[in-house]
Amino acid sequence: MQGICLLGATGSIGQSTLDIIAQHPEKFTLVNASANESVDKMAEICRRFKPLRVVMGSQQARDELAYKCQGLAISFEWGEEALDSIASDSAVDQVMAAIMGFAGLKPTLAGIRAGKRTLLANKESLVTAGKLFMDEVARHDVMLLPIDSEHNAIYQSLPQTSHGAHQQDVSKILLTASGGPFRSWTLDEMKFVTPEQACKHPNWSMGQKISIDSASLMNKGLELIEACWLFDVTPNQVDVVVHPESIIHSMVSYLDGSVIAQMGNPDMKIPIAYGMSWPNRIETSVPPLNLVDVARLNFESPDLMRFPNLKLASDAWFMGGTAMAVLNATNEIAVTAFLNRQIGFLDIARLNERVLMAANIVAVNDLDDVFEADRYSRQLALGMISSGNFS
* Residue ranges at the known binding site: 10-13, 122-124, 148-150, 178, 201, 207, 214, 219-220, 223
Architecture of the CATH domain 309-387: Orthogonal Bundle (1.10)
- Whether residue 212 contacts residue 198, with contact meaning beta carbons closer than 8 Å, is answered with yes
Higher pLDDT, 229 or 103: 229
Summarised one tens digit per residue, pLDDT across range 8-41 is: 999 999 999 999 999 999 999 999 999 999 999 9
Summarised one tens digit per residue, pLDDT across range 112-130 is: 999 999 999 988 889 999 9
Cis peptide preceding 302, ω within 30 of 0: no
Q: Where are the domains of the chain?
A: 2-121, 309-387
* Residue ranges at the known binding site for 1-deoxy-D-xylulose 5-phosphate: 123, 149-150, 178, 201, 214, 219-220, 223
* Residue ranges at the known binding site for NADPH: 10-13, 122, 124, 207
pLDDT at 166 over 70: no
* Residue ranges at the known binding site for Mn(2+): 148, 150, 223
CB count within 10 Å of CB 289 equals: 12
pLDDT at 346 over 70: yes
Residues sharing a CB contact under 8 Å with residue 323, sequence separation 6 or more, in sequence order: 315, 316, 317, 356, 359, 361
Q: How confident is the model at residue 164 (pLDDT cuts 50, 70, 90)?
A: low
Summarised one tens digit per residue, pLDDT across range 317-336 is: 999 999 999 999 999 999 99
pLDDT at 305 over 90: yes
Give the Cα separation of 232 and 242 in Å (integer).
Answer: 23
For the segment 186-205, the average pLDDT, to the nearest whole number, is 86
pLDDT at 390 over 90: no
pLDDT at 153 over 60: yes
With a pLDDT cut of 90, the percent of the chain lying above it is: 88
Summarised one tens digit per residue, pLDDT across range 236-249 is: 999 999 999 999 99
pLDDT at 306 over 80: yes
Alpha helices in the chain (DSSP H): 12-23, 39-49, 59-68, 80-87, 105-113, 123-139, 149-157, 187-190, 195-198, 208-216, 218-231, 269-277, 291-294, 309-319, 323-339, 347-358, 367-387
Q: What is the pLDDT of residue 383?
A: 96
Summarised one tens digit per residue, pLDDT across range 167-186 is: 678 999 999 999 989 999 99
Residue 237 has what DSSP assignment? G
Q: What is the pLDDT of residue 15?
A: 96
pLDDT at 386 over 80: yes
Q: What is the pLDDT of residue 13?
A: 94
The class of domain 2-121 in CATH terms is alpha beta
pLDDT at 63 over 90: yes
Summarised one tens digit per residue, pLDDT across range 249-297 is: 999 999 999 999 999 999 999 999 999 999 999 999 999 999 999 989 9
With a pLDDT cut of 70, the percent of the chain lying above it is: 97
Residues sharing a CB contact under 8 Å with residue 380, sequence separation 6 or more, in sequence order: 330, 355, 358, 359
Q: How confident is the model at residue 207 (pLDDT cuts 50, 70, 90)?
A: confident
